[in-house]
Amino acid sequence: MAVSLFLLQFFLSILAWIGISIWTVLLTLLIGLIYLLHPLIDPQRRILHRLASIWGRGLMSLAPGCRVEVLGLEHIPPLRPVIFMANHQSYTDVPALFSLPGQFRWMADEGLFRIPVFGWAMWMAGYLPVRRGDAREGIRSLERAKRLLERGLSIFIFPEGTRSRSGAFGRFQTGGFRLAVAAGTPILPVVILGTRQLLPRGTWIFRWGIRVQIRLLPPVYPSKDQKSARGLSEQVRAQMKRAYLRGLKSR
């Protein structure tokens, strides 16, 4: 029985990756076409982000038997940008999180921007590369993110900085929290469950029939006299961890 299930997942994963590759190339070509015209028709790259969202939702629909459920949309403050912060479990986190509505821009490791096709699309969509270990470049990235917030565009960050190996929450980096304090922008914690099971780290084989759940938590409003970005990060991390553990118990 176990062998039959593995073979089924193996062959379905081959078909899924073929579909994902074709879908990614087609959407990147379309994004590239709009990018060439974006100074005239899409100066804020809103159409490009919508196309990226279509890519992500399409990719998740190609994962064998996968379902994506979004809870807590009522926590998104209307008519103002936020800084989304999510735990990081799998390569499928990014496409799954494109299920969220509205306009936002990713802040992501610059290595992702070097990936052929996928990375090109991220760059053309106006997402922000972050160079690890370079403090000066990190400050510049935060300044670019702050300008986007001032234009009414939300920012999306993985505060752990990299995927969790065990599913446990890693230490949160403070850059996004310093940005929240400096810009006076609320943090919207996002807890994602199921992506680690859908595509475990170290394998390309999708697990069959996984339910991915995205839970939006109430926003956290940083105080103008916030003295410690580390304290704010620990507060948000504890809130997200509690919601994650509750979610695991309810699955």
The candidate with the shortest Cα–Cα distance to 178, out of 79, 85, 242, is: 85
Tens of pLDDT, residues 176-216? 999 999 899 999 999 999 999 999 888 999 999 899 999 99
Q: What is the pLDDT of residue 247?
A: 87
pLDDT at 227: 64
Confidence of residue 225 (pLDDT cuts 50, 70, 90): low
For residue 167, pLDDT beyond 80: no
pLDDT of residue 213: 96
Mean pLDDT, residues 89-100 taken together: 93
User: What is the chain's mean pLDDT, rounded?
Assistant: 90
Tell me, which fold does domain 2-250 have in CATH?
Glycerol-3-phosphate (1)-acyltransferase (3.40.1130)
Helical spans, DSSP H, in 90-161: 93-97, 118-124, 135-150
Could you read off the pLDDT of 40-91 as tens digits, one per residue? 899 989 999 999 999 999 999 999 999 999 999 999 998 899 999 999 989 8
138: which 2 tokens?
A: 């990190």
d(CA 145, CA 150): 9
Q: Supply the Cα-derived Rg of the chain in whole angstroms.
A: 18
Report pLDDT digits (tens) over 32-52. 999 999 988 999 899 999 999
For residue 47, the model assigns a pLDDT of: 95
Beta bridge partners of 70: 214
Give the pLDDT of residue 1.
Answer: 60
**For residue 108, pLDDT beyond 90:** no
CA distance 29 to 130: 25
pLDDT of residue 17: 96
Domain ranges of the chain: 2-250
